[in-house]
Structure formats: C-alpha cells, structure tokens
C-alpha cells in the first residue's frame, strides 16, 4: 500500500525531468525555426544570380565612357560580379592614355547642355572646346574623372574584357591597351550574361 | 533614433558625387567586424536613395537615416555570415 500511496511522489522527479526536457525541446524548436527563417531570408537577399552584372561598352565618347564605368563600379560596390565587355569605340577607354583623350563633339548633339548650332559645331577647335567645357563642368561638381573611375573599377574587382575581334579589325595591339584586362568574344560575354540578371548595352 | 547608437567608424562622404559615396561605404565596411556600426555623412542628394539600396543589396542593416542642413547621415550595421571572410 505504501508503494501504492507513493506513485506521485516517485513520479515527481521523473515528471520534472520530462517537463524540463519538453520545455527545452519546444524552446529549441522555436528558436531554430526563427533562426532558419532569418538565415534563409538573408540568403535569398544574396541570391547569386542577382549579383552578376553584364555591361557592354560600345561607345568611345567622353559622356558615354562614364555610364558603363559608373554602373560597374557601383555594382561592384554592391557586391556584384560586374564585367564590362568593351567593343568597337569602347576600346578607346581601355587604351593606354585613352581615357584622357576621350572627347565629345557638339555637332549634331542637340542634347548638349550648351546648345551649339551645327554650322558652328563643325568648325575646327569646337570639339576640343566642347570637351574642355564638359570636363570643367564635371570637375566643378567634383565628379571623378574617367581615368580615376577606371582605376576604381579595377580596384573593386570589375572585370574588363576587350573584344578580340574589334582589336583585330581596328588594328589595335594588345600592348596598346592597359594591363589587367582579359580578351574574349561574343560567346564568352554571352556565357556570362546568360547567368546575369542585369545586362546592359551602352 | 533618439537613443545613442555606438559608432565604430565614421565615414565623411560629404562633397562626393555618385558613385563615390557608395564605393566609399563599401570600402569602409570591409574594415569593420560583424555587428559594428558605420556612420556615413554625405551631401549627394542621390545618396538618400543609393545608400539604402546598397544596404538592401549587400544585406547589411541600415539602422537609420536622417537629414539636416543638406547633410545626410546614415548608420549602417555590418551583418555577417560565418562562411565569409
């Protein structure tokens, strides 16, 4: 009878242990659930495909040199794998001493900040003047120069790829271009672009 | 916003124009440890959209942003993942 009368007493230690275990299990499950959700959300934000940015740079004027470089450096600053494929006149940006020589012509450029009638724009000296004015405008607003931007891009790990075919067609040698660039063709670029969410043609 | 946030590093991006503010933030945050806070001040009007966008892409936490007299101030907490540097 004593053994009968004591079942709760002998159960209590066992019960407490069970209770503790149950409580711990449920706390762990809850915390784990929240942790996993948090990590998955973070991982989704860092989706690999989102982090590839493919840019084609096909223009060689001063204004159009900025666009691919600014986009690529910003993408790299946002942890993306940014690659610029330089083709046609875009190769001017990659030439040794090239960025400093980029120009902008006022002729047939109705979007210029200071409109210049075409008949004036075609006079000798107008293109260098327009270039000088635009560079001055950028400097006044503390906009980074193209050579500096190119340097930043390389430092941030932006991959610069020169179109091999354009090089040959335009008679540009590899030695004429700056160091640290790769060479490739359309297929190589498209291979990268297919895996990228963001592909831009400039 | 009124509680004092402990700042581990200050970045002065005033006078910088796009894309330099975001590039500077990226450089500055590299030197921080997970959980540390970077305070950024910028005058670039685009920064008030660029920096939150940067934070969204990189996964770091934008704790707060404010503007006073044309200067934007951002507090960014470095997030971290054990599998990375």
- Kindly identify which residue of chain A lies nearest to residue B60, measuring between CA atoms: A42
Q: Do B17 and A142 make contact, defined as CB atoms within 8 angstroms?
A: yes
**Which residues from B are below 8 Å from A42, CB to CB?**
59, 79, 81
pLDDT at A97 over 90: yes
User: 């794998």: which residue's tokens?
Assistant: A81
Gap between the Cα atoms of A70 and A195, Å rounded? 21
pLDDT of res. B1: 46
Q: Looking at the complex, does the CB of residue B12 fall below 8 Å from at least one CB of chain A? A: no
In the set B5, B18, B23, B66, the catalytic residue is B18
- The answer on pLDDT for A83 being more than 90 is yes
- Which of residues 38 through 57 in chain B touch A, CB cutoff 8 A? 50, 53-54, 56-57
Q: Is A12 helix (H, G, I), strand (E, B) or coil?
A: helix
B59 — contact with chain A (CB < 8 Å)?
A: yes
Instruction: Give the Cα separation of A197 and A17 in Å (integer).
Output: 54
Burial class (CB in 10 A: 0-12, 13-18, 19+), A68: buried
Model confidence over A121-140: pLDDT tens digits? 889 999 999 999 999 999 99
Which residue on chain A is closest to B24 by alpha carbon? Answer: A77
Residue B5: per-residue pLDDT: 80
Structural domains in chain B?
9-77 (3.30.110.40)
Q: Which CATH number fits domain A50-201: 3.40.30.10, 3.20.20.70, 3.40.1260.10, 3.40.50.300?
A: 3.40.1260.10
Of B42, B38, B31, residue with least CA distance to B66: B42
**% of chain A exceeding 70 in pLDDT:** 90
Q: How far apart are CA A24 and CA A28, in angstroms?
A: 6
pLDDT in tens, chain B (85 residues): 445 788 999 999 999 998 999 999 999 999 999 899 999 999 998 898 999 999 988 889 999 999 999 999 999 999 876 545 4
pLDDT tens track for A108-122: 888 888 888 999 988
Is residue A7 scored above 60 in pLDDT?
Answer: no
pLDDT of A154 above 90: yes
Q: What is the 3-state secondary structure (H, E, C) of A129-150?
A: HHHHHHHHHHHHCCCCCHHHHH
pTM over 0.95: no
Chain CA centroid to CA A156, Å? 9
Q: Is the pLDDT of residue A9 over 80?
A: no
Whole-number pLDDT of residue A155? 94
Among B17, B23, B79, the residue with its CB nearest the CB of A77 is B23
User: Is B48 one of the catalytic residues?
Assistant: no
Looking at the complex, report in whole angstroms how far the Cα of residue B29 sits from the nearest Cα belonging to chain A. Answer: 11
The pLDDT assigned to B85 comes to: 42
Residue from A64, A67, A60 nearest A94 by CA: A60
Structure token pair of residue A161 = 């790829």
For residue range A18-76, what is the model confidence (pLDDT) as tens digits? Answer: 999 999 999 999 999 999 988 888 777 666 556 899 999 999 999 999 999 999 999 99
CA atoms within a 13 Å half-sphere pointing along the CA-CB vector of A31: 6
- Distance, in Å, from the CA atom of B67 to the CA atom of B47, rounded to the nearest integer, reads 11
Give the A window 157-196 contacts with B, CB below 8 Å. Answer: none
Q: Cβ of B19 and A73 within 8 Å? A: yes
Across A173-181, average pLDDT: 93
pLDDT value of residue A41: 80
Distance CA A110, CA A114 (A): 9
The first and second tokens of residue A49, run together, are 């495909």
């Amino acid at each position: 009878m004593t053994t009968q009368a004591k079942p709760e007493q002998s159960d209590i230690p066992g019960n407490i242990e069970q209770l503790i275990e149950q409580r711990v299990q449920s706390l762990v499950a809850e915390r784990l659930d929240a942790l996993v959700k948090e990590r998955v959300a973070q991982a989704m934000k860092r989706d690999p495909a989102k982090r590839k940015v493919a840019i084609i740079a096909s223009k060689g004027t001063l204004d159009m040199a900025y666009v691919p470089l600014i986009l690529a450096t910003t993408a790299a600053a946002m942890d993306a794998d940014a690659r610029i494929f330089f083709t046609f006149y875009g190769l001017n940006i990659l030439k040794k001493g090239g960025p400093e020589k980029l120009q902008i012509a006022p002729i047939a450029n109705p979007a210029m900040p200071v409109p210049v009638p075409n008949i004036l724009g075609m006079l000798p000296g107008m293109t260098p003047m327009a270039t000088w004015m635009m560079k001055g405008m950028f400097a006044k607003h503390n906009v980074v120069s193209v050579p500096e931007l190119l340097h930043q891009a390389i430092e941030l790990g932006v991959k610069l790829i020169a179109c091999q075919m354009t090089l040959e067609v335009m008679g540009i040698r590899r030695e004429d271009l700056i160091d640290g660039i790769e060479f490739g063709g359309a297929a190589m670029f498209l291979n990268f672009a297919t895996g990228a969410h963001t592909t831009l043609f400039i | 916003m009124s509680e004092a946030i402990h700042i581990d590093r200050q970045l002065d991006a005033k006078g910088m124009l796009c894309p330099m503010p975001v590039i500077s933030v990226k450089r500055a945050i590299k030197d921080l440890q997970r959980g540390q806070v970077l305070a950024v001040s910028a005058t670039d009007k685009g920064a008030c959209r660029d920096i939150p966008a940067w934070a969204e892409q990189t996964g770091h936490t934008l704790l707060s942003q404010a503007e006073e007299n044309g200067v934007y101030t951002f507090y960014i907490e470095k997030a971290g993942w054990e599998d990375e540097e």
